[in-house]
Amino acid sequence: MNTQTFNPGEAATEVSTVAVVGLGYIGLPTAAILAGKGLHVIGVDVNPDTVQAVNEGRVPFIEPDLGVHVAGAVSQGHLTAQESMPEADAYIVAVPTPFRDDKTADLVYVEQAARSIAARIRPGNLVILESTSPPGTTRRMADVILDLRPDLSAAAGSDRDRVLFAHCPERVLPGRIMIELVTNDRIIGGLTLEAATAAAGLYSTFCQGRIHLTDAATAEMAKLVENAYRDVNIAFANELSVISGNLGIDVWNLIELANYHPRVNILQPGPGVGGHCIAVDPWFIVSADPENSRLIRTAREVNDAKPGHVIAEVKTAVEGIEAPVIAALGLAFKANIDDTRESPAVEIVRRLALENPRARILVGRSFPGAKLPDELSPLPNVSSVVTNDAVAAADAVVLLVDHDAFREIRPEQLAGKAVIDTRGFWRTTA
């Protein structure tokens, strides 16, 4: 299928009831925004706590502005949540697609969702996969449903009753989800053009960006490529940070200067790359064609090695101190969010604690009252404390996340302490 741009005047959506399967970081915002447009939205989640929270108009995680949208949609009766799969005109699948130890995608949640949908789907329905997935997953999801429902077909021109399948990858940035859901362009890939057009009709109810239509495998790959592009570029910055450190050069000043060139735009180094997207998706490309993904694989390895460099720096800083106190500032995978999935900060704290049993690691949190994640809570030498107390008690302060809240730390609080600033947060300009 050639790529084409959807013309919103062309196909008004015939969908009035939507089931959004998976009420996580993407599913819940999508559900809330569709409900805000007056559609009847039923959120489906296997977690009873999530279902209860949504039905009470609450959001079980932090994302700016999402709370207002969910509370409004629930109070107007447009959004409800339940554990079982309902009948609907359209199904949007936004379940996790984690990767296994061998870095291949685990599609068990997509397949579970597909089996539940198969029991409820009716002729003419639309099924959209939003989850980031390896090429071929939309086809596989359709096959799971169609194997269970031989009365239905996805093919144009079939004698059997038609159902429509499309992939519509999300591309929103955590922390800006409610803005980018509306303003970003969308790529929609259908198993048929009719399916892509129907999905575009639904998304055009809230998406103000352009909607680009293509086939499902290209849409799946486009999403992976966007994140791999970013990963490769961050790896370049991280590699520079290690080289610069060895040469005694301030990497942030170096990058600022190089970026004055009109065709150079180096990203920022950090403690590593986290989150459920950039640290994961490139592996889906590598597993699709291992032999030819050398650059993509190496970038992943460079970024995954960065926490080790930070740990080595901290160890050097506290060398000779019998029982050092280390303040670790921030655990999230990036600034101003509370999401710790795949976070290099968590890995750094965990490995520092395990490798230095005599050290005490005080995690200064920017979100007061936040509990330690499961990876850290069993460790006896890690505790979560108020940021200022962590800094005051520390021999070494390692800044892991550039949360705005840490701006309140004054230079005199850091005086006399070893400071490892993995984000260039306290850097002076070139």
Catalytic, 103? Answer no
111 or 226: whose CB is closer to ligand SAJ? 226
Buried b (16+ CB within 10 A) or exposed e, 227-259: bbebbbebbbbbbbbbebeeeeeebbebbeeee
Residue 280: Cβ-neighbour burial (10 angstroms; 0-12, 13-18, 19+) = buried
Q: How far is the CB of 422 from ligand SAJ (least distance, A)?
A: 9
Q: How far is the CB of 230 from ligand SAJ (least distance, A)?
A: 4
Of the listed 37, 103, 207, 277, which one is catalytic? 277
Decide: 414 and 391 in contact? Cβ < 8 Å: yes
* Pick from 316, 301, 241: nearest CA to 271: 241
130 or 215: whose CB is closer to ligand SAJ? 130
97 or 204: whose CB is closer to ligand SAJ? 97
Q: How far is the CB of 25 from ligand SAJ (least distance, A)?
A: 8
93 or 164: whose CB is closer to ligand SAJ? 93
Of the listed 207, 223, 306, 334, which one is catalytic? 223
Give the footprint of ligand SAJ on this chain (CB under 6 A). 132, 170-174, 226-227, 230, 234, 267-268, 270, 273-275, 277-278, 333-334
CA–CA distance, 390 with 398 (Å, rounded to integer): 11
Q: How far is the CB of 229 from ligand SAJ (least distance, A)?
A: 7
Continuous segment of H or E residues that includes residue 251: helix 251-258
204 or 303: whose CB is closer to ligand SAJ? 303
Decide: 256 and 429 in contact? Cβ < 8 Å: yes
24 or 67: whose CB is closer to ligand SAJ? 24
Nearest residue to ligand SAJ, by Cβ distance, number only: 277
State how far the alpha carbon of 3 is from the alpha carbons of 76, 185, 250, in Å.
38, 14, 45
CA–CA distance, 306 with 348 (Å, rounded to integer): 10
State how far the alpha carbon of 107 is from the alpha carbons of 49, 93, 123, in Å.
23, 12, 25
* Pick from 92, 272, 76, 68: nearest CA to 177: 68
Q: How far is the CB of 221 from ligand SAJ (least distance, A)?
A: 13
Continuous segment of H or E residues that includes residue 363: strand 360-365
96 or 275: whose CB is closer to ligand SAJ? 275
Q: How far is the CB of 277 from ligand SAJ (least distance, A)?
A: 3
In the structure encoding, which two tokens stand for residue 43, read together? Answer: 């959120």
Q: How far is the CB of 350 from ligand SAJ (least distance, A)?
A: 16
Catalytic, 277? Answer yes
SS3 category, 281: helix
Other residues' Cβ atoms within 10 Å of the Cβ of residue 312: 11
The catalytic residue positions are 223, 277
